[in-house]
Every structure is written in C-alpha cells, then in structure tokens.
Amino acid sequence: MANYTAQDVKALREKSGAGMMDCKGALDEADGNIEKAFEVLRLKGLKGVSKREGRTTSNGLVVARVSDGVGYMIELACETDFVAKSENFIALADAVADAIAAAGAIDVAAALNAPHGAHTVGDAIIDKAAIMGEKVELRKVEVVKASGIDSYLHRTSKDLPPQVGVLLGYEGTDSETAHDVAVHIAAFSPTYLSREDVPVEIVAKEREIAEETARNEGKPEVAMPKIIEGRVTGFFKENCLLDQDFAKDNKQSVAKVLETAGLKVTGFIRMRVGV
C-alpha cells in the first residue's frame, strides 16, 4: 500500500512542476517522503536530459528587469502550459532574469554563462529541467539601453504567466505616456520604430506588390502612382510604431502623442512566447 496521500502528490507536483505519474513513481520509490521524492525526480531527470533535446518548447513566459539604464527581457521556454504556470518554473525564470541583469549579459550565450550561485545560469536551467521532466531552454535575451525605460508584461490568459513583453527606451519625463506606448506596442506589435528603419528592399517589394495588385484590379494607369503610394503608406501605418494610430486615441498617431508628451522613443523590443 502506498505510503502517501493525494495531497502529497499534489504538493510534490507544485514543488517540482513534474507530471502526476512521475510524482507518484517518485513517491513510491521514496516511500512517501516528499523531499526524497523530489531528489528522485531530479536524478532521473538529469539522466533523461539528452532524450529531451529534440522536443518542442512552445510554452513558457517572459520576464523583464531594468537596472542602471538597461532593460533586459528574457523568454524562458518549456514544453507544456502546466510547467509554464508552476511555481518552480516561475521562480527559475525570476532567478535567471536576476542573474542576467546582475551580469549585464546581452545575449543568450553570455546569459547561460552568467554566474548563478556557485554555478551558471545554464547549469541552473538544466538542474531545474531535470526535476520538471521537461525540456527547458533560455530562448531569447534582448536588451534596451536608454535614459528612460518602461517595461510591460501582458498575460494572454489569466491562468498563465506573462506571454508578451515590451521594453521601451525613451527620452523625456512623461513616464505615464511612455507606459501607454509600451502597452500599445504589446497590442499592435509594430516591427519597426519609423518608416526610415524599414529596409529599402522591403519597401521596394511592397511597392511591387501594390502595383501588381492594382493592375490585377484593373485600376486606371493615371491613378497608379497615387494608389501605390497609398498602399505603401498603409504598410507603414501597420508596421511602424510612429505611424500607427494610438491605441488609446485612434484619431492621433503615436508620433503625435509622443510629440505632445515631449517624448522621443529611442528603441523598443516586443517579445512573445513561441514567436
């Protein structure tokens, strides 16, 4: 007869983030002792690390840290939403973000080698992944440097940790408007700051598509230049932050809102789990 209860299984799942059957097996092996079962999960998980390498990590969360004029954002990925919302995984993500900010790491390679206690961030991820029984990876690390930085994390589901994150670098003092713009970026996902930032080859391709579409629609030749420029302008309004209609007041562009607030955006990143 098993020397543990359903509550013990629940407690071990919450502590480890591992699946129910894995937790039951570990408790069987540990004769119901939760701490010993936790170690069983860890040791078995470490043996299975190589087997998990090819698995897909489509879940996870984003975390942000701001320190001394630098904003750091990471995506820590895992296989299932069960692990993504577990306390163990969320605590790991927070610890990883803290270590990355403390080390000033600006990319994944540097982040994995950042100190974490007596070991590295990479070691910590492998160790915790072993306990959870899933592949866990630090998929992205991005940095924004500016005199003013706003961070915004958005939950796409109330049951999950933040799945979308924004870092906004800016100059100026209106932090409230800066935050509103960060929220706007999360919702409208611009690719570029301004139309000047769009690569010339992409603009040329958009013009080509606009012309071909207009000709297929049978538009008159005399109107073609105006139609093409109008559709390219539409591309800019969809993809460039400064050209977009502001989320809180679509009668104004983001550029106009920033000008009125005395703000200048110097850069931004938008990160979404799995993208």
Tens of pLDDT, residue by residue over 45-83, are: 544 444 555 567 889 999 999 999 999 999 999 999 988
Place of tokens 């935050």: 179
Residue 18 has pLDDT above 80, yes or no: no
For position 92, what pLDDT does the model report?
95
Tell me which residue of 74, 98, 81 sits closest to 156, measured CA to CA: 81
Residue scoring higher pLDDT (118 or 41): 118
Residue 196 banded pLDDT, cuts 50, 70, 90: very high
User: By the 8 A CB rule, do 48 and 24 touch?
Assistant: no
Tens of pLDDT, residue by residue over 109-118, are: 999 999 998 8
Residue 24 has pLDDT above 50, yes or no: yes
Tens of pLDDT, residue by residue over 244-266, are: 999 999 999 999 999 999 999 99
What distance in Å separates the CA atoms of residue 21 and residue 45, rounded to the nearest whole number? Answer: 14
Residues in Cβ contact with 195 at an 8 Å cutoff, skipping those fewer than 6 apart: 236, 240, 242, 243
What is the number of other CB atoms lying within 10 angstroms of the CB of residue 177? 20
Tell me which residue of 123, 78, 68 sits closest to 96, measured CA to CA: 123
User: By the 8 A CB rule, do 105 and 138 touch?
Assistant: no
Average pLDDT, the chain: 90
Tell me the three state secondary structure of residue 84: helix
Residue 37 has pLDDT above 70, yes or no: yes
Tell me the three state secondary structure of residue 66: strand
Task: Kindly list the domain boundaries of the chain, sorted by start residue.
Answer: 6-47, 54-145
For position 40, what pLDDT does the model report?
74
Q: Could you say which of 3.40.50.150, 1.10.8.10, 1.20.960.40, 3.40.50.2020 is the CATH number of the domain covering 6-47?
A: 1.10.8.10
pTM: 0.80
Residue 107 has pLDDT above 80, yes or no: yes
Segment holding 269, helix H or strand E: strand 264-272
Which range among 41-45, 209-213, 236-240 shows the weakest confidence by mean pLDDT?
41-45
User: By the 8 A CB rule, do 160 and 89 touch?
Assistant: no
For position 231, what pLDDT does the model report?
94
Within the chain, residue ranges assigned H as helices are: 6-16, 20-29, 34-47, 81-84, 87-103, 108-112, 121-132, 175-188, 200-216, 224-239, 254-261
Place of tokens 């706007």: 184
User: By the 8 A CB rule, do 164 and 62 touch?
Assistant: yes
For position 206, what pLDDT does the model report?
94
The predicted model gives 82-98 an average pLDDT of 93
Tell me which residue of 26, 97, 35, 106 sits closest to 62, measured CA to CA: 97
Residue 44 banded pLDDT, cuts 50, 70, 90: low
Q: Could you say which of 3.30.479.20, 3.40.640.10, 3.30.420.40, 3.40.1390.10 is the CATH number of the domain covering 54-145?
A: 3.30.479.20
